[in-house]
Structure 1
Amino acid sequence: MNSPSRPPITNHPRGHPTEFEQIIQEKSHNFVGREFVFTVINEFLHRNNQGYFTIIGPPGSGKSAILAKYATDNVDVVYYNAELHGKNRANEFLRNICTQLIHQYSLNYTFLPDNATEGSWFLSSLLQQISDQLQPNQKLIIAIDGLNFIDRNSQSPGTNLFYLPRYLPDKVYFLLTRRPFLREKSGLLIETPSQSLDLADYPEQNQQDIQAYIQNYLTPNEEIPPTLLEKRDLKSWLSDYQINEQEFCDRLSSQSDNNFMYLSAIINATLVGFYPKPFQYNQLPPNLAAYYQQHLQNMMRSAPDEELRLAILKILIQHQPITVEALAKLMPQRLAHTIDVDEYEIEEVLENWLEYLKQQQNNRDDYSLYHSSFRHWLSQQII
């Protein structure tokens, strides 16, 4: 039996639903660099007949922009964004992706089956049908941005996130992005080739791309009148304050700590006159403060003991990097009750916070908050 007709998804000429096309355009605006990521992705695609490739990085590290740029440059990519309101539930993902696939590959379905969103069976069937009709040089790539936003309560316990298939047919690939996570709690059980790229493992390349991003604001674009360019505005602003461009680039890239969200917010705030003097960034632009507020709300929801969470957070603000053992020793000074807190309880909280933390490259047992400006903002909120 088939389900009643649903309103059709309005597609952009490239095939993406209009709501996703807007995100793709926004995220890929002013895009520069990241060639090292695209190189690894392409090597994976050429080396494997099918598979999952995951880009991992903390908030603001440019994952969404990379995926948007990839979708822009590869017109056959099927795109989905789990961060958008209402798009983080498994049934909506399956309805949307299956509809996109049917439209894009002209599959013979007028309606989705009633139970199309109950598990991966219908999606897997579509993938097999598409695989069978692809030419030897063709690939189906489904890009999903923001696995960390998925509502796991919207699907059966123990199933793959979004009911993603455990097996994939030939020439079918998933390109995913997500924030850092505990491997044992990945939410994905797959038996097909897979590879991850953690952006934190490429500090030099990230730094080069950060500098290129700043330089992009300082490079005239001949196609647009200079008076309409943000880049020209920044160049004029530097001239007004008699700041050397290279000095500005070096200082701002250092402060950014390879974080594009922070960098973009600071540059745009500078252009609209938010900062009265150069390099005085203690006050955060409203959009960045709101972003950090979301982080804090998520962190406070992620563990049952609010007093314990606050105590750990205060220690992380004042002592970082820090080990679980050191956290446990400082805990009695922070808690009103006298019950001992063991390291297991602390580890459990930190595991739930992994997307907002970073671990030292030379010592994975050392934890710190993922960005200095987030740490500074937190210190103003809770200490």
Structure 2
Amino acid sequence: MLTRRPYDPDRKRLFTEVPQQKLNLTSSEYFDLNRADIKGYIRFFIYEEPKHKQALKKWIEKRQISADTFVELVAQKSENNFMYLRYVLPEIASGFYDDLSLNQLPDGLIDYYQTHWVRMGMDTAPNQLMVVVLFILKEVGTPIPCQMIADIANQDEGEVQSVLDRWIEYLKPQQIDGDTCYNFYHASFLDFLKAKKELDKNRKLFKDVNQRIVDYWERQMQQEDEDDAKDC
């Protein structure tokens, strides 16, 4: 099974010699099926998911609402997007939204990203290191280790790791050649970052950072050439 977005029925990208079936999952005929799956996923978190179910039940009971009301409204706010639920349900359970009512939860994935952006202080006086780390991840676009980010940012590796830890729910750590490397978990968050004026690559700060990225790759290539010469 292969998926792609956005779906364009007039552009064929898959060529095979075996029978194939194409489904446009954004079609209205799948809306009710998808909504039913969304509600089932929310109920699973409330009643079965061992890590979060008790905290979710307490959050619901504290607001004197029924579980069914919670399921209905969160499903509506998710806009049938499972990525929204992946972020929001664990954060409700962790206490991130303890100061909000059910109606005040973010509406849709982009509103969720914006809510988190504001709560991290990025709209008022954003931490420069935090902004630079997000910019480096955005510009490089492939999984990279903390040490590389620290080198490009010219910052202490421990401080860079602290920034990565604060944004970890949006990142996908993976082991590559013995290093823990980081990349954005989902393209929708990368799309959100690209639209933020705080990460505009035309800012002088980011022009300097982009040059540091180029310098880093040049040093790496030079080191590889020197190593190859030694092997010869």
Give the TM bin, normalised by the shorter chain.
0.3 to 0.5
TM-score relative to the length of structure 2: 0.44
TM-score relative to the length of structure 1: 0.28
Structure with higher strand content: 1
Using CA pairs under 8 Å that are at least 6 residues apart, name the structure with larger relative contact order, 1 or 2: 1
